Amino acid sequence: MSDPVLRNSYSQPDAKGRFGQFGGLYVPETLMPLVLELTQAWHDAKNDETFWAEYHSLMTHFVGRPSPLYFAERMTEYFGGAKIYFKREELNHTGAHKINNCIGQILLAKRMGRTRIIAETGAGQHGVASATVCARFDLPCTVYMGATDVERQKPNVFRMQLLGTTVSPVTNGQGTLKDAMNEALRDWVTNVHDTYYMIGTAAGMHPYPEMVREFQTVIGKETRTQILEREGRLPDAVIACVGGGSNAIGMFHPFIDYDTVKLVGVEAAGHGLDVYNGHASSLNGGRPGVLHGNRTYLLQDDDGQILEGHSISAGLDYPGIGPEHAYLFDTGRARYVTTTDEEALAAFALTCKLEGIIPALESSHAIARVGELAKEVGKGGIVVLNLSGRGDKDIATVAKHMGETGASLLS
């Protein structure tokens, strides 16, 4: 099995943007014509080779792709199970996988003749990636960011401002990602005539979940090629953190048709799954509902009100999840486990010490579960972890926590 033919029987979503019962198009009527136009433009671009040629050229020369597939030798030894590889998305320009999506969407926005970009951001990685492509393509950009997140991700706020973007703090609700997304939608509905909404994850209304996935599948496609070169076969498992879920779906998608490849998503369990409103595990601790344009699993109370949730990681602190993950969860094709704040911090420290890599707190959630997965797969097996972002942005959060816990992380 040196080079299995890329199979292609999986064909979600359907024409209405449905992944089984999930996904769809739940937006105010003012936005409907715009979203339908976007769907058409995306369909045209998707089938246009020149669109993809420009995307791939920028991926190579601007983003620095392909990102390496790195054998994490010391971590492999430490856990004593399957070989652990890292897909090094944190080495991309701007330090995370988010740029893959932004390059695709800015090309689409240009193609549609839009003259203004808006985006939402949690950790600030998508905000920085949006600000970056807007600088590169000379379009004005406003990024909505919850006031709480502005506070805990200051370096990224400054980066966006350096790149010429207006950062608009959102004080509604708890001031996190969902509130930023509400405010971005309000801007969009008010400025329909010229504005393109650059959603940062594989969630929201059709066609975003499919479109963002397609821009992120570069992760899984490269991984597949690279692991075949290195090991001559496909991995036994791939693992990635899920907030909205774009890095995970980008890794999973090219492997969905290969039953021998386990797909493992890691949700943020915050203070613990048993703590009411204390986690951000939409699949393991939520139920289906409708928010931000799509039907998916949501954290909600006993009357259909959305809960804020909690995670130490701003990028995972969202009460929903992309509809394709909801589908993969319900069908059982992918497995979703959880990591608490404490476990993520321990994994963060471990990766610094063992591999000389400072991972994002988001990615640290996946790292916290990779040891068990490597043991489950066993010696002789292969596990690929998507290292979705670098952790420079998180050092203040981690330092604060070390102060609170007597620097136990360094022991």
Partner 1 sequence: MSVARIDRRFADLKAQNKSAFIAYIMAGDPDLETTFEILKGLPAAGADIIELGFPFSDPMAEGPTIQRAAERSLAAGTKLRDVFMLVKRFRELDQDTPIILMGYMNPVEFLGYERFAQTAAEAGADGLIVVDCPPEEADALTDALDANDIALIRLATPTTDASRLRTIVKRTRGFIYYVSVAGVTGVKAVDADAIADQVVRVREAANLPVAVGFGIRTPESAASVARIADAAVVGSALVDEIAALAQTKNLPENNPNRTNVLEKAAILANAVHSARLAEQV
Catalytic residues: 98, 120, 388
How long a stretch of residues is the chain?
A: 411
Going by their DSSP bridges, the two strands 382-387 and 237-241 should be labelled as: parallel
Give whichever of 224 and 279 is closer to partner 1, judged by the CB atom: 279
How far is residue 91's CA from residue 243's CA, in Å, rounded to a whole number? 20
Distance CA 322, CA 266 (A): 13
Question: At its nearest, how many Å lie between partner 1 and the CB of residue 285?
Answer: 16
**CA angle 171–172–177, rounded 5-degree value:** 85
Taking the least distance from each CB to partner 1, the nearer of 38 and 69 is: 38
Residue 33 Cβ, how far from partner 1 at the closest point, in Å?
5
In the sheet where 83-88 sits, what is the strand order?
69-71, 83-88, 382-387, 237-241, 262-270, 334-340
Q: Which is nearer to partner 1, 219 or 306 (CB)?
A: 306
How far apart are the two ends of the chain, measured CA to CA in Å? Answer: 44
Of 85 and 197, CB closest to partner 1: 197
* Least Cβ distance, residue 8 to partner 1 (angstroms): 28
CB of 161 to partner 1, least distance (A): 25
- Of 381, 393, 407, nearest to 145 by C-alpha is 393
Instruction: Give the span between the Cα atoms of 324 and 13, in whole angstroms.
Output: 8
Residues that bind partner 1 (CB under 8 A): 16, 24-34, 172-173, 178, 182, 185-186, 189-193, 288-293, 295, 298, 300, 303-306
Tokens of 107: 């090309």
Buried b (16+ CB within 10 A) or exposed e, 195-232: bbbbbbbbbbbbbbbbbbbbbbbbbbbbbbebbbeeee
Closest to partner 1 by CB, 318 vs 348, is: 318
Least Å distance, CB 50 to partner 1, is 30
Taking the complex as a whole, how short is the minimal distance between the CB of residue 289 and partner 1, in angstroms? 5
Tell me whether residue 27 or residue 119 sits nearer to partner 1 (CB atom).
Answer: 27
- Of 94 and 182, the one with the shorter C-beta distance to partner 1 is 182
Supply the DSSP symbol for 127: H
Q: Count the Cβ atoms, other than its own, within 10 Å of residue 116.
A: 16
CA distance 188 to 109: 14
- Nearest to 316, CA basis, from 332, 333, 339, 297: 339
**What span, in angstroms and rounded, lies between the C-alpha atoms of 187 and 324?**
26
Minimum Å distance from CB 305 to partner 1?
4
